[in-house]
Chains A and B, each alone.
Chain A
Amino acid sequence: MSSVAADMAVKSARAHDITDPKRPASQHNWLFILAAGWLIVVLFFVVFGRWLPFIQDPTAKDAQAIAQSPSWDHWFGTATFGQDVFARVVEGGRISLFVGATVTFIGIFLGGLLGLLAGYLRGWVDSLVRLLISVTLAIPALLLVIFIVTIQGQSLKNVILAVSLLAIPALARIVRASTLQVADRDYVKAAQVLGVKKGSILVREVLPNVMPTLVSFAFLTFGIILVAESSLSFLGLSVEAPTITWGSIIAEGRIKFSDTPHMVFLPGAVLFLTVLSLNFVGDQMLKRFDIKESGL
């Protein structure tokens, strides 16, 4: 899934230069701050939510307040058994963001390593990595994750493992392409001619130039993983109940949709805005840092 998204992100970022080469991307600072701000707010609530006094107990049932619309007492309304939806969203974010962050980290680390080695060393390493990428990308992502999670059992560990299997090849592909580009540059060749050791060239010359692209894609990947995990838990295939995730809140709300639309739309909006912010930040970074031949 992310391969298409990645191609598109790169292409669109480059098209930006055509529309207006003279207009620097930094003009979007205002929006960039807005997007980054939203991410920080979400992160703050999710990390410190359990200790914030105004956030209620996400599991406390209240027979007096069942399936209520949003109010001052319950910002996001209440769930089927009267639980506070806002508290549930904050609590659910823990799993969703944790999975997203962990998988992105694993993907960046392992995918980046594979891509870097494949793109720089070429030869059989490259062939192997390419085969690995094609095989993994040959199965529709969600299908693969569903298959793995059902076989291995729906635990946090297995969800992370399965989703990582998507992120690694997708990121390896990006990093490989970008390494190929960098490795072709004259300064890399110059270092080779001077007899600098391969490992040292990789770390000193190639890696720093691939890093910006990698970091930009980290944000885009985070968004994609967040959606993947949420879809999984929406289908009831992620971490099993009673653990709360954003997807599971929505899945619960959709059952009696006309009574509890707020359980679908408000967590949905939070998820959407988070993904939007991640995409925007990633997109902007890509525009700013993308290695362009013209820029050399």
Chain B
Amino acid sequence: MIVLVAVLVAVLALAAWIVRVAGWRFALQRLGGSLLIVVLVTFATTVLLRQVGVDQSQKDTLVELGLPPSSQPCVASLGTGADVATVEKCVEDRGLDKNVFAQYAGWVSDLLHGDLGYAFYKNKEPLTTTLQQRLPRTAWLFLYSQITALVLAVPLGIWAAYQAGRKPRRVPRWIFPLVLLAMLGVAFSVGWGFAAVMFGAILLPIVVYNTYRGGPPGDTTVNTTAFVLLSIPVFVLGESLRYLFAIKRDWYQLTGYKPWSAGVTAHIGSIWLPALVLGLAATPVYLRLLRADMMQNLQQDYVAVAKAKGMSNTHILIRHVLRPSTVTLLTVAGLNIAQLVNGAIVVEFIYDFDGMGSYLIEAVARREFFAVQTIVALVAILFVAANTIVDLLYTVVDPRVRATVSS
């Protein structure tokens, strides 16, 4: 309860601040737009839900059982063993016997009353309980992964952008065969281990690209590594690190999430690897964007002015260039929440991490359509809300936007 009040107060404070900075009209306009999107998305999930397996043969089976064809989602969710009465009750509960608008209205009204429904398979455990239990885990995972990503991407991005302005130097070509030889040596001495294969698959393109690109080495290396990292699918990365840290070594135990109350080491120990994987997946996106933006801003006249004022490079990079460059980063961080959700589904599956992502996969596997629909809708709401906040924060970061908005 206290947490809820605290969150509410924080949200209200944020809203008040944004309204003060950006003005009512702008804030309302954005909120209205977001609300429309939320309504359309959730409505779309309701429509989609009614499409569950409605081919003719299944309809015929239902009619034989004396059930309306629209009860298919219930039948699928309850399993084929359910008796007719249970199915009928489910159909009535979920409003499947009504038209789609009535069904949607019912769903919204339930939602506003705090009733998110339940999944059948866990003794009808209400979804709110599940959320209470699992949402914090995923939230921690998100938080840690974003911290990891920003801690890696921001300094490296700044550094790379700074290096990019320096004289281009070509990495000598003889390094290429040398690294190849060294890698072959490693491979032969350690054995054709798969870690070595992965190592090679990552390093080789870096070396090749670096050798032939011939830009400023610091920038090229960082940028190329980011490019390569970007091309590794999250699940391949996740499995590789699981192999390295949880199977070959026992640095990470696949024992599931432990809360803060279990102690800091236990908590971090139970979450660091999935967070690292998610973080590494987001890092190259942030890094390349920040680098590109910073490079563009470093060309601006005010940078020359600051240099002429005798300000140090660090001062210029951090105090002058970073802030205008974070505008895009901020938007992308907002949009990237979607990517994060995608990643969380995969990563939680890989590491048996019992958060929302793995719950979703479970629910899908058990054909719990109603639970899945609600989760999809909730994620969409969260996502739109986050992006609206980011949109409004924009005005706070960049005073010029504020000016155009308020005028």
List residues of A whose CB falls within 8 A of some B CB.
1, 3-5, 7-8, 11-12, 14-15, 18-20, 23, 27-28, 30-31, 34, 70, 131, 134-135, 137-144, 146-148, 150-153, 223, 227, 230-231, 234-237, 247, 250, 254, 257-258, 261-262, 264-266, 268-269, 271-273, 275-276, 279-280, 283
Contacts and interface: CB of A to CB of B under 8 A. Distances in A.
A27 B212 contact: yes
Interface in B266-311: 285, 288-289, 291-293, 295-296, 299
A237 B372 CA distance: 14
Contact of B235 (A146, A230, A275): A230
Size band of the interface chain B makes with A? 35 or more
A11 B292 CA distance: 6
Contacts of A279: 227, 230-231
Contacts of B364: 146, 150, 237
Nearest to B337: A140
Interface centre among B49, B52, B339, B342 (most CB of A within 10 A): B342
Interface in B187-221: 192, 194, 197-198, 201, 205, 208-209, 212-216, 219
Interface in B143-172: 164, 168
Given A148-B48, A275-B233, A276-B228, A18 B336 contact: no
Contact of A230 (B41, B233, B384): B233
Contacts of A265: 194, 197-198, 240, 243
Contact of B49 (A137, A151, A272): A151
B360 A146 contact: yes
A149 to B, nearest CB: 9
B264 to A, nearest CB: 29
For B208, B214, B235, the residue with the greatest tally of chain A CB atoms inside 10 Å of its CB is B235
Contacts of A140: 337-342, 379-380, 383
Contacts of B16: none
B383 A258 contact: no
A138 B34 CA distance: 10
B164 A31 contact: no
B361 A235 contact: yes
A8 B335 contact: no
A272 B346 contact: no
Interface string B356-367: 000011001101
Interface string B239-271: 110110001100000000000000000000000
22 contacts: A4-B332, A5-B230, A8-B332, A11-B292, A20-B215, A23-B214, A27-B213, A31-B208, A141-B338, A142-B342, A143-B376, A231-B234, A234-B346, A250-B239, A257-B242, A265-B194, A265-B197, A265-B240, A266-B194, A272-B232, A275-B233, A276-B205
A28 B212 contact: yes
Interface in B320-372: 328, 332, 335-342, 345-346, 349-350, 360-361, 364-365, 367, 369, 372
Q: A-B pairs with the 4 shortest C-beta distances?
A: A15-B292, A140-B341, A142-B342, A276-B231
B40 interface: yes
Contacts of A12: 223, 288-289, 291-292
B2 interface: no
Contacts of A150: 364, 367, 369, 372
B235 A19 contact: no
Contacts of A283: 227
